[in-house]
Amino acid sequence: MDGFTYKNIFETKGIEYLATIAFFAILIPFWLLLNRQIKTKKQSQKSAGILNINTLKIPQGVFFSKFHTWTHLGVSGVARVGLDDLLLHMIGEVKFDRIKTPGEKIKKGDLLARIEHKGNILKVFSPISGEIMEANPVLTTNPELLNEDPYVKGWLYKIKPISWTADTYSYYLAEDATLFSRQELDKFKEFISASLGKYSPQPSMLILQDGGELLDQPLSGLPPEAWQEFQEDFLGKKTLHRNKGCLRNQENQKKS
């Protein structure tokens, strides 16, 4: 037929196009399957109550202190502060005992709040200096938000900072925050292992048998002595009391 020209596709670049199409036809389903498996693994770890880096919320743009408090400066110039997700996974469900009121001044490192879990009280210290603007009113009726949503609805206080740059200079942000959390998890595993040897005859209740991964909220099952050590090693300042009544009686005695 006049004007008709036949070309063998294998003698042109067509074979390269076919190879490329075939490659992606294989790669894309494999990639989707792999990501589905990773997602499923993370979901199963959460549902099984496993504590590892994959179960933690580490939002971008939030400054983390080494004592497991966080702060975020809003466009209004007022900062929110709260407890990081790793601390809450270490402890379990906590209640927030307000000790600061609007108008009070606070310095970085000052006592900010007390949190209580099954009678054990830990002291938390302020990540920044400034003026207390507001304590989170929602936590009075919904204390569970501390654990469920620590960075959005579960913040502790709003503070107007007076030295934001200096206070947050050494804090962890973005990838550094993730690295810090990973290192703290390793440190916490060592802490739990040592505590089990001293205080618990049944380590299987706190650590998984396969792989040695921690179950969620492992500190919850340990005695007050372990909580005291946890306060010193992870939150700073050697201050912890067994219950609120005892704590308040001691403080009243100091005042009288």
Q: Is residue 209 part of a domain?
A: yes
State both tokens at 28: 């894309």
Q: Is residue 147 part of a domain?
A: yes
pLDDT along the chain (256 residues), means of 10: 51 58 57 43 48 93 96 97 97 91 96 93 96 95 94 97 97 96 94 84 51 82 92 78 42 45
The identity of residue 246, as a single letter, is C
Q: What pLDDT score was predicted for residue 41?
A: 37
How many domains does one find in the chain?
1
Q: What pLDDT score was predicted for residue 254?
A: 42
d(CA 180, CA 68): 10
Q: What pLDDT score was predicted for residue 148?
A: 95
d(CA 146, CA 68): 13
CATH code (residue 237): 2.40.50.100
Q: What pLDDT score was predicted for residue 62?
A: 97
Q: Is residue 32 part of a domain?
A: no
Provide the residue range defining the domain that includes 125: 49-256
CA diameter of the chain:
114
Q: Is residue 12 part of a domain?
A: no
d(CA 185, CA 96): 24
Q: Is residue 36 part of a domain?
A: no
Q: Is residue 20 part of a domain?
A: no
Q: What pLDDT score was predicted for residue 197?
A: 83
Residue found under tokens 């993370």: 42
Main-chain dihedrals φ then ψ at residue 98, nearest 5 degrees: -70, 135
Instruction: Give the helix ranges, DSSP H, for 49-202.
Output: 85-91, 138-141, 145-148, 164-168, 175-199
Three-class DSSP labels, the chain: CCCCCCCCHHHCCHHHHHHHHHHHHHHHHHHHHHHHHHHHHHHHHHHHCEECHHHCCCCCCCEECCCCEEEEECCCCCEEEEECHHHHHHHCCCEEEECCCCCCEECCCCEEEEEEECCEEEEEECCCCEEEEEECCHHHHCCCHHHHCCCCCCCCEEEEECCHHHHHCCCECCHHHHHHHHHHHHHHHHHHHHHHHHHCCCHHHCECCCCCCEECCHHHHCCHHHHHHHHHHHHCCCCEECCHHHHHHHHHHHHC
Q: What pLDDT score was predicted for residue 26?
A: 62
Q: Is residue 31 part of a domain?
A: no
Q: Is residue 41 part of a domain?
A: no
